[in-house]
Structure 1
Amino acid sequence: MLVHPARVRPLAEKPRRAGPVVYWMSRDQRAEDNWALLAAADLARETGAPLHVAFALAPGYPGASLRHYDFMLRGLAETEAALRARGVPFHLLLGDPAAVAPEFLRAIAAGACVTDFDPMRVKTLWKRAVAEAFAGPLLEVDAHNVVPCVVASPRREYAAATFRPKIHKRLQEFLEPFPELPAFPDVALVATPPVDWGAARASLSVDAFPGPVPDIVPGPAAARAALDAFTAERLPGYAARRNDPNAGAVSGLSPYFHFGQLAPQRAALEVLAARAGHVADADAYLEELLVRRELSDNYCHYTPNYDRYDALPDWARKTLDAHAGDEREHRYTPAQFEAAASHEALWNAAQRELVATGRIHGYMRMYWAKKILEWSPSPRQALDTALSLNDRYALDGRDPNGVVGVLWSVGGLHDRPWATRPVYGQIRYMNERGCRRKFDANAYIARHS
């Protein structure tokens, strides 16, 4: 068996039928290092059934623009080619996934369907609809987390301190090398012509702005090259330099993780292989990759209203509500924030970085979100504004990591109470003076002016 059985859980326990096995790809958009695809391959080889991969392309997705769809479609074209090289046909289904996925399963008389784990609300609704409509079994495989989300903890964790030992306890069990995807007879390829990617792009109903980011190449090959460059060139010194947005020390892998073009487990294996001589640096990165990132999935999976103000910890809502009426020296509308039209050059530079590059340095994203809290009429509006801007412009927006990053900054999620201040209450505070102590703020401003 190629896949640890604890990665797999049934979403619809119906009898398996004769017919092809379909991997309904969604979050994990790659042919290599993909536990969900490997699980589907296992099922197909058990009975000699053909294996098909299908991706349902929604014409629009909340918060997504041409920037995100372009990155995704270019990566999927590479994934299609890699699958066809292994004898596995790839089908691009155009339309609402809740409707077109069951239609496809019926059309090819599928015997079983495998999909990947994703805690985001829209994806959960799609899977629920397919589970109800499909006559066969629907299996979900966690191919994104190193320790499967439902295995790591059966409940919402309230801090990294409680979650960390649970992850480390199971790492040895799940942090294993990936087997190679088996090759299949290419008979099924004959009836499945290559995807018309131009027609797929034309079918979209999304905003043309923001457009594609020119300086980051999408796709699994570019993702692997980016990982290799990080481990060889930037992992040494990472622990000391990661909070300096001028240092160029970050991994740059989050867009590839978000679109499933790189397995986080592959990143963990490569960083561990490069750990000798760089123990503190590797451990600092692995804390972010394994504990903080998987804690984000834990939060969204066990919190259906994960992006709502009411989902914040009780102490945080209480303190924010108590200070909601505090006088604000500056107030901005969501449109002013979006236009980088604040009084502060450093904050404006962070917003311009996000809009222009589709990325924002992690330390600056915390500062950026906290100032939205400070300069918004209410904490509720601040949360909505920060989430909306992050989703619209960041390549890794619309993601558990993005949601949790904003809620940590604005609403104290996974944090603790601090000294009371106006507007913030007991939410952790950041200011420009603190940034200037950490890095050359003027250089950052000049680069994003």
Structure 2
Amino acid sequence: MIPERARIWKEGREGKGPVIYWMTRDQRAEENWALAFAQELALERRAPLAVVFALKEEFLGAAMRQYGFMLRGLEEVERTLRDKEIPFVLLQGDPGETVPDFVREHSASALVTDFSPLATKRAWMEKAEEGLDLPLREVDAHNVVPCWVASPKQEYAARTFRPKVRRLLPIFCEDPPAVQVHPHPWDLDAGVSWDRLRRDLRVDRSVPEVEWIKPGAAAARRALRRFLGEKLSRYDGDRNDPTLDGQSNLSPYLHFGQISAQRVALEAAKWEADPRSKAAFLEELVVRRELSDNFCFYNRGYDTFDAFPAWARKTLDEHRNDPREYLYDQEELEGAKTHDPLWNAAQREMVVRGKMHGYLRMYWAKKILEWTDSPEEALKIAIYLNDRYELDGRDPSGYVGIAWSIGGVHDRAWKEREIFGKVRYMSLRGARSKFDVGSYIERIESLD
């Protein structure tokens, strides 16, 4: 493994005990740089290896829809690891407390975790390191180019980030190593009663699981093959039309780490398809997705008004008191009770399916800005709805997509207008010029 994929989060004293991989964001047993790195450490020491996942209830507004998808994927992880003689341990409680407790209980020699730029994971790690005297290492198993290598600073836009990533891709775009059967077994009492766990989990069950997409690494691989074979060549032309089935539908799998973005990129790059479509897909998968990680990593207030660029904060401040023709509160928006049939349909798609079309996510968020009292209120409501209903909520791409729509993040100033100031505007009339709005609304109404 290229050494730059890993970094020391906390120095510590090396011991002789087992190695622990603290799995968080990258929930897969194959093609996982963090797990491979942990196994490499364990093999060097001839030590046992275990994978630990700490389950926290009431996590950032997630409901049974997201917990169910995650837990079914983790059940597959446990089965795969069992075949490799690597125990999978599910802890319940605050990860910042339960993980170091487990490490101390078993006198581990090293702790490895996967990378996330979000504040919650950082807080867990900061809390965990207080009670540990062993090394804590972090491996970016989520991005093709490790976040801290791609750029040493917050990037202004895709045009400043893109050349940096492209220059590094030949170095980092390599096949992930296979995790082998571990030769140093660890007889841990680590079995998980998955049905009982799902039944007893204290979580909001008013947002149910969905059936149109199946969770887990095997399902993710099938979805990738289907996308490459049936959609990739049409991606450039179809991806922004909500009436067409042109998107990859891989975002839930990428969010939960059930498939490696590296594998998706490698397979798409070698697939015989229209070059423009391949380029458009890889731009979204690598440049845009990893730009979101860059933003959240270097901007600690990524989900606040203060994270917006200076020009956007200034123009939104200047238009705070502009009259709104329509004003809706959170309950009305959540219930899709606005005057705009397209917005209502988009909201309904998210509530029912757990995945709104990507083009409409931009329109949806911008209208929330137009119909609420302030940018701060719009941001709060958009994040709440996104994280409550979207399968891929609580993700850097979600936070940045909303910040782009409401606060001009990674965008430029446009023609000034009421409420939006110089933030890019989108309208129902503009949507009608791009796709058959009536057909989309009719399809969403049929979901009932």
Within a 5 Å distance, the mapping from 1:371-386 to structure 2 comes to: 371-386=367-382
The aligned counterpart of 2:163 is 165
The aligned counterpart of 1:267 is 264
The aligned counterpart of 2:311 is 315
> Quick one: distance in 2 between partners of 1:413 and 1:314?
10
Deviation at 1:186, TM superposition (A): 6.9
Could you list the per-position Cα deviations for residues 14-48 of structure 1 after superposition, in whole angstroms to 9, with x for gaps in the alignment?
A: 12111000000000000011000000010001011
Deviation at 1:152, TM superposition (A): 0.3
Establish whether residue 88 from structure 1 lines up as the match of residue 86 from structure 2.
yes
Could you list the per-position Cα deviations for residues 101-134 of structure 1 after superposition, in whole angstroms to 9, with x for gaps in the alignment?
A: 0110011111101000001111110011112212
> Quick one: distance in 2 between partners of 1:65 and 1:344?
27
> Quick one: distance in 1 between partners of 2:313 and 2:190?
54
The aligned counterpart of 2:188 is 191
Residue number among 280, 287, 292 corresponding to 2:288 in the alignment? 292
Establish whether residue 363 from structure 1 lines up as the match of residue 374 from structure 2.
no
Query: For residues 50 and 186 of structure 1, do their structure 2 counterparts lie closer, same or farther at Cα, with a shift above 3 Å needed?
Result: closer
The aligned counterpart of 1:254 is 251
Establish whether residue 223 from structure 1 lines up as the match of residue 220 from structure 2.
yes
Provide the aligned length of Structure 1 versus Structure 2.
Answer: 445
Could you list the per-position Cα deviations for residues 321-354 of structure 1 after superposition, in whole angstroms to 9, with x for gaps in the alignment?
A: 1111111111100110000000011110000000
Deviation at 1:277, TM superposition (A): 4.0
> Quick one: distance in 2 between partners of 1:51 and 1:66?
31
Establish whether residue 431 from structure 1 lines up as the match of residue 427 from structure 2.
yes
Deviation at 1:62, TM superposition (A): 1.2
> Quick one: distance in 2 between partners of 1:193 and 1:403?
35
> Quick one: distance in 2 between partners of 1:354 and 1:186?
46
Within a 5 Å distance, the mapping from 1:7-22 to structure 2 comes to: 7-22=5-20
Instruction: Check the 8 A contact 2:48/2:184 in 1, yes or no.
Output: no
**Secondary structure at 1:448 match in 2:** helix
Instruction: Check the 8 A contact 2:63/2:204 in 1, yes or no.
Output: yes
Establish whether residue 57 from structure 1 lines up as the match of residue 43 from structure 2.
no
Instruction: Check the 8 A contact 1:12/1:132 in 2, yes or no.
Output: no
> Quick one: distance in 1 between partners of 2:350 and 2:58?
21
The aligned counterpart of 2:26 is 28
Deviation at 1:246, TM superposition (A): 1.0
Deviation at 1:240, TM superposition (A): 1.0
Residue number among 39, 42, 66 corresponding to 2:40 in the alignment? 42
Could you list the per-position Cα deviations for residues 252-302 of structure 1 after superposition, in whole angstroms to 9, with x for gaps in the alignment?
A: 00000111101111110110011x342111100000111100000000001
Structure 1 unaligned runs (5+)? none
Instruction: Check the 8 A contact 1:366/1:405 in 2, yes or no.
Output: yes
Could you list the per-position Cα deviations for residues 346-396 of structure 1 after superposition, in whole angstroms to 9, with x for gaps in the alignment?
A: 110000000000001110000000111111111111111111110111011
Deviation at 1:92, TM superposition (A): 0.3
**Secondary structure at 1:310 match in 2:** helix
Deviation at 1:4, TM superposition (A): 1.2
> Quick one: distance in 2 between partners of 1:390 and 1:365?
9
**Secondary structure at 1:9 match in 2:** strand
> Quick one: distance in 2 between partners of 1:297 and 1:265?
15
Question: How high is the TM-score relative to the length of structure 1?
Answer: 0.98
The one-letter code sitting in structure 2 at the alignment partner of 1:234 is K
Instruction: Check the 8 A contact 1:29/1:260 in 2, yes or no.
Output: yes
**Secondary structure at 1:404 match in 2:** helix
> Quick one: distance in 2 between partners of 1:25 and 1:416?
37
Instruction: Check the 8 A contact 1:331/1:376 in 2, yes or no.
Output: yes
Deviation at 1:173, TM superposition (A): 0.3
The aligned counterpart of 2:153 is 155
Deviation at 1:249, TM superposition (A): 0.5
Could you list the per-position Cα deviations for residues 38-75 of structure 1 after superposition, in whole angstroms to 9, with x for gaps in the alignment?
A: 00010001011011100000122011111110000000
**Secondary structure at 2:406 match in 1:** helix
Residue number among 123, 126, 145 corresponding to 1:128 in the alignment? 126
Deviation at 1:181, TM superposition (A): 0.6
> Quick one: distance in 1 between partners of 2:273 and 2:241?
22
Structure 2 unaligned runs (5+)? none
Deviation at 1:400, TM superposition (A): 0.1
What RMSD in Å do the two structures reach over aligned CA positions? 1.0
Residue number among 383, 387, 404 corresponding to 1:387 in the alignment? 383
Could you list the per-position Cα deviations for residues 205-241 of structure 1 after superposition, in whole angstroms to 9, with x for gaps in the alignment?
A: 2211211011110000001100110011000111011
Deviation at 1:202, TM superposition (A): 4.2
> Quick one: distance in 2 between partners of 1:124 and 1:17?
25
Establish whether residue 399 from structure 1 lines up as the match of residue 391 from structure 2.
no
Within a 5 Å distance, the mapping from 1:298-309 to structure 2 comes to: 298-309=294-305
Deviation at 1:320, TM superposition (A): 0.6
The aligned counterpart of 1:4 is 2
